[in-house]
Each structure stands twice: as structure tokens, then as C-alpha cells.
Structure 1
């Protein structure tokens, strides 16, 4: 095998020096030779009982980089580590699952009609019924015309498509930290500069509109991303602060996405949808996964002025809104499920916040009563708070993957069994106190 490799290498260099083949062909031959060498050495090591990747561990980064270069894979992916919590959820049996941000009260009373199932052989070509339902739903705050709506496979896809629409070489991203990690993970694959505006622990992680405006003004032409309500804290930013931020972005020549994935939990008069007709640099993203209880059907949408929606359509995945999602979303809107969910959260979450306020060791970041998620933390940054919750039988999301946070913080989703959750919070507080007293061990 090594003889074959040497022959290939000599042939490549001989051809290159004699001009018998073009340089591009030479590069292809050298790439093939490199791959041949790699496979030869791996085979020889295996024959002698060695693990080839163990032997090459020290140089594995260089080998991987060569592989990426060989096939034109973006090198930024070589070192990227995804912070998104969906990659790092704890496993096991839990008394309560308070991890993912789905509707704590489940799915609305809906069903799939037989006619929808019969039509699954056809592509979903019409949005008319859903557009009409959304127009009626938001009529009090915005006249949504069909050319202002773009549907996608969940709000994550909407945000990714907006990033694709705005990304050019040299673009800077202005965002808060912490913020929704799946979106910033995707942004990072384009290799942009990031200007993060950190929510400060000394302010209990409360939103600072002026700090965000300052960052926007210092980075003209940036792409601005803001999630409101904020993930993981669950706080809602006042609409007048949002207006100031969007205006600052417009004045700086920057496009801004307001990610309202949890928007159905906040009052309509606080939504950035109120600003769409005023600002042409704004897109508002929403989803059916949270308040509407349809996370499993994967349906999101963007609302923006027609010229923005037209541009977004050019990077939107065709037929990304499937027929079943369309039908169930229409039924969910008609059921009023999100509005009933909001009313119930307003009753249940204050009980959870009161339980956390009574704790000696657990703290809760600034949060809004009507949003189902909260960020809980301890002062000791050596505590793995996710594991402490797990000891009490509660599954949560670690905040270790969020910029500006660590393993001593978690995101806690509301649970329909509030009595049990309140009781278990007291147990978690006691376990956290023991861990802190033992010097940071959460075991």
C-alpha cells in the first residue's frame, strides 16, 4: 500500500513539473495521494493492533483541516462547538420534565381530517386558510396582508433564513447574551464578528435597552438579533424600549429580527408586530410550538413589510409548511388555545416565582409572570445546577451553552403540576445548599 502511495506521489510531482497536466488536476492528484496515505497508515496500524485515531490524536486537527480543504467544506465548522441545549439534554427517568420550552399544558383539542390525509400525495401549494386565520388573530394590532407573511419549518428555520438573507462577508452580528443558542450557533457558521451585549448579574440579568442601542450605534450596518421574550430568562422587554432599539438599528443602516418564539405568552400590545408597519428594517418571527402547543408539527412564520418578505422568500425552503401543520395551526387558532394558556401561566408562574424567592440558595433572574420559562441560578459557579435538579427528579436545561452563563444556571420551564414543582423546588434548594457547603460538588 505504501508503495502505491509513493508511486502516486511521484507521478503527481513528475506530471506537475513536466507540464503534462494542469495545476488543478495536480491538486486533485495530490489530494488523492494524501487520502491514500491516510488509509494505508490506518490499515498498517490496525494490523499491528493500534488505534489509528488514538495514534493520530495529536495531529487529528491538521488531518481534519486537510479533509475539509480537500472537499471544500467550510473550515469554520472544524472548531465550532454547538451550544444549543437540544444537543446536551440530560437523560434518565424524572418526576417532572421542565426542560424543553413546549406548552406546559399540552396540545389543543384538534384532529387531522381525513381529507387532509388523502391530500398528502400533493404538494402544499396554498396558504390561504392560515393567512386568513392569522390576519383575524392579529387584526387589532396589525393589518397583515398575504405578501407580509413567510412560513417555515418552525421559528428556528425562520431565524436561520433571515440570517441567510442578511449575511455577507464582513457582517457583524449584534445580539444579547444570553440569547437563543440555536440561532447564534447557525450565525457562527458564517464566520461573522459578534458584538454581544451581556445581561449583567448585578442587575439580575434585566434587559438594558441603552446598552443594546449603544452597541448598534457602534456597529453600523450590522445584523441585529433580539429574542423577546428572552430565552432563557423569560422576561418581556417593554414595547417602547423595543421601538427605541428598532429605530436605532434603522438609523444605523441595520436590519433587525425580533424573535418572538414565546410571543404568544405576552400581551399583544407588547409585541413588535405593532411596529412592522412603521419600520422597514424589521422582521418579527413567531411559532406555533409554544403558546399554541404544536411543537411537534414544526411551523413558524415571519411577518415583515412586503419588500422584506419578498427577499426572504428567495432563501425560504420551498414547501416548508406541510399540509398537516397548516390544518392543525388553523384549528389551534380557532380554539383560542394560546390565549387560554396565557391566562393559566399568569396564575401558575407567580407560584413558582414565589417558591424560588423563598429559597436560601436558588435565585431567579428577572422574569415576566406570563412567560412559561425562568432562569434559576446559584452564586457558586462550581455547582452543576442541572445535576442538582436531576437529583430531585426534575429535568431542566443547563445554561452552560448560553453565552455569559455557566453550569450554575438552568432554564426551568413551567409544568402543569405546579404543586409538585413547588415542592420539588424546595428539595432542590436544600440539595444545592449541601453542594455549596461541600465545596462545589453536586454529587
Structure 2
């Protein structure tokens, strides 16, 4: 129609942000925002006075990030590319790498908004499924096998994984990146939830060694600034230079720059990680005590988890809604169905633990009634 690509007119997106439940809820555990809210930041008057000007300098934020990650990587200014959130970074990296006939190697399940965008280029997908018989644990060798079988493919991996919240060991990540380089493939490590994992597990440790690697980060999760839309890519200079050519100009606004610098100075992400390490095990323990609910392999320090029931006829999102908890259905994730949900941690852990028990009881009733979650 009028030159619009047909795939864009017919695509049914799996992105969960377009399919969230509406209504009133006791707890909102859906979107992957910081469970503890916004860091102690404010917009100074001088920043408001400068809004008439284009945001031409990244110097203060580059300096703050260099200091933040100095123990694991010497980030020079020509290694950083800023964007409107990590999703924009991932979309731009896809655009950088995509050509007709390209194959994309990725895991399933994985972040749906990225794979939805990839699908608009009509590539061939080689998905490496996390297996239910392994409780959806990461299998590095299966991913390496897929990379070796598809030389020259574009490889996308989110770590920590969305929706399971598991962190892949850095040594496994190194093996995957090495396999990609050996196969002539570029790889993006999407660390949108990376501020929840220890620095020594981040693929940032590998950037100086591998020229086929980009690491994506955001201020939306651990830093508690989802509303300002700021993400960034770290890669070797020649990769960053190529990425700049498909990067939307001025995509980092001046208010986001100011608030991100303040957030880093506050140490909010580090404090958040400490609280998650204290609170999430309580939720995992509550889920482990359930008769009907199961939780996929997950890491204690990451705020999201994937919860599922064995009966694939159960709409688990609706079961959670009956108990007053808003979650994300996993029906849009490749390899999963409506019997699984993504659960974000909530600062009211006591209430969440109590409601998990209620959900388990409701799920049991639904299973006993033959799969109806009503």
C-alpha cells in the first residue's frame, strides 16, 4: 500500500507492552521498572534554561560512566553511543547489521520488542529454545552450536534474560562471543537488566578483547529512570563509529543527560541491587512452597522471574489478575504460552508473598476445573 512494506501492515507484534491487562490492581508487577522507584534526582533551573539548545555534548555523562566502570573497562568517548533507551540501541544495532538474506541467531524466550523489530527485516531466524525439562536454564553449548551452524549470522543475546531473570556465567558468555567471532558473526549482548548483576559477570569485561561485540545498557531498570528514555552501547571504536551512522541524531536529550549523571552519583542502582538480593529470595521461597506454580531458573539479584503452571490451558495472567496482581503474559514470547507470566519484584514484598499464595490456590482451582481460569 503506497510503498509501505507489507510486513509492517500485517505483522502481529508479540511485544508485551501492547497487551497489558487493564483495571485496578493491588500490586503492579508488570513492566520491568525499578521496584523501589526513582533515585533522588531533580532538574536544575540551568538545565531548563538550556532547553532551547541542541544537546551537543556528552562529556559529563561519558565521564560518569567511565568512572562507574573503570574497574572492569577503560571506556573512552569513542566507544559510547547513546540512544533513546536500550530498545533503541538494539534496534540501531539490528539496522547496522541487517542485509537481505541475513540469519539471526537468538534464544527463545527473549525480549520480544527486539525480535519484533528484527522480524520487520524478514530475516531467517534460528532460535535456541530454553527447555522446560531444564527449567528453562541457559544452555551455552546449544547457542554455540547454532552460531557455528549459521556462519555470518547476527547474534542477539539478552543477559540477564527477559523473562526468566537468570544471569549467564561470564565464562559461558566469553565462549559464545568467541564462537561468534570464529563464525564471522557480530553479537549484541543486551544487558538492559545488567545493573542487577555483579560487574564481574558483565560482558563489558570482554569489549576490549572482542571487536565483534556490542554491549547494550540502559538507565531504565536499576537506575530507576525509565521515564527519561536513555540507553547506551559500548563497543570498540570502529563498531561505535559504524553505529553512529544509523543512530538517531540528538537521541539523548539534555534532561536525560542531567538526571543520569545525578543517578550515577547517587549510587541508586547499587543500592537497588542490594535490596533485590534481600527481597527476591523471599519471593522465590514463596513460589517454591507453591503446589501449582513453578518458577523458571532465575538469579537472586535480578528483579524479574518467570512463573508458570504445567497446564497450558491456564491463562496465568488472568489468575494473577484475580488475586489483584498485574503481571506480563508470556504468550507473546517465542517458546512460551499463556500458562506462563513474567513477575517483576515489588517493594511491598510482604504483600507480594501473601498474594503469591492466593494465586497458587486460584491456579489449583482452575486446573481442577479443567483449565478455566475464570
- Structure 1 and Structure 2 fold alike (TM over 0.5): yes
TM-score (norm 2): 1.00
Cα deviation, 1:121-160, whole Å, max 9, x if unaligned, reads 0000000000000000000000000000000000000000
Alignment of structure 1 residues 54-69 onto 2, 5 Å: none
1:385-407: per-residue Cα shift (whole Å, max 9, x none)?
00000000000000000000000
- How far apart, in 1, do the equivalents of 2:3 and 2:123 lie? 19
Q: Which has the higher helix share?
A: 1
Instruction: Please report how far the alpha carbon of residue 78 of structure 1 lies from its aligned counterpart in structure 2 after TM superposition.
Output: 3.1
Residue 129 of structure 1 aligns with which residue? Answer: 60
| TM-superposition CA deviations, 1:362-386 (whole Å, max 9, x none) | 0000000000000000000000000
Shift of 1:73: 1.1
Segments of 5+ residues of structure 1 without an aligned counterpart are 1-69
Aligned partners of 1:266 and 1:163: how far apart in 2?
25
**CA deviation string 1:18-66 (max 9, x = no partner):** xxxxxxxxxxxxxxxxxxxxxxxxxxxxxxxxxxxxxxxxxxxxxxxxx
Match of 2:29 among 98, 104, 122: 98
Q: CA deviation at 1:254?
A: 0.2
Q: CA deviation at 1:321?
A: 0.2
Query: In structure 2, how many angstroms separate the alpha carbons of the residues matched to 1:197 and 1:391?
Result: 34
Deviation sequence 1:271-324 (CA, Å, 0-9, x none)? 000000000000000000000000000000000000000000000000000000
1:77 Cα shift? 1.9
For 2:367 and 2:373, the matched residues in 1 are separated by 8
Instruction: Identify the residue that residue 157 of structure 1 maps to in structure 2.
Output: 88
> How far 1:76 moved relative to its partner?
1.7
Bigger relative CO (Cα 8 Å, ≥ 6 apart): 2
Q: Which residue of 2 aligns with 1:303?
A: 234
Q: What displacement does 1:435 show?
A: 0.1
Query: For 1:347 and 1:387, how far apart are their aligned partners in 2?
Result: 28
Q: Which residue of 1 aligns with 2:128?
A: 197
User: Could you give the per-residue CA deviations for residues 234-255 of structure 1, whole angstroms, max 9, x where no partner exists?
Assistant: 0000000000000000000000
C-alpha distance in 1 between matches for 2:38 and 2:60: 20
Structure index of larger Rg: 1
TM-score relative to the length of structure 1 = 0.84
Deviations 1:198-245 (A, max 9, x none): 000000000000000000000000000000000000000000000000
Deviation at 1:439, TM superposition (A): 0.2
Any stretches of 5+ residues in structure 2 without a counterpart?
none
SS where residue 71 of structure 1 aligns? coil
What is the CA distance between 1:72 and its match in structure 2? 1.1
Rounded to whole Å, the distance in 2 between the matches of 1:130 and 1:407 is 41
State the partner residue of 2:322.
Answer: 391
Partner Cα distance (1:241, 1:109) in 2 = 36
- C-alpha deviations, 1:316-340, integer Å up to 9, x for none? 0000000000000000000000000
Deviation string 1:61-104 (CA, Å, 9 cap, x unpaired) is: xxxxxxxxx41111122331100000000000000000000000
Q: How many Å separate the matches in 1 of 2:350 and 2:286?
A: 10
The superposition leaves residues 159-194 of structure 1 with CA deviations (integer Å, 9 ceiling, x where unpaired) of 000000000000000000000000000000000000
Residue 116 of structure 1: how far off its partner (Å): 0.1
The answer to whether structure 1 residue 346 and structure 2 residue 277 are counterparts is: yes
Rounded to whole Å, the distance in 2 between the matches of 1:87 and 1:189 is 17
> Aligned equivalents of 2:6 and 2:345: distance in 1?
40
Q: Secondary structure at the match of 2:287?
A: helix
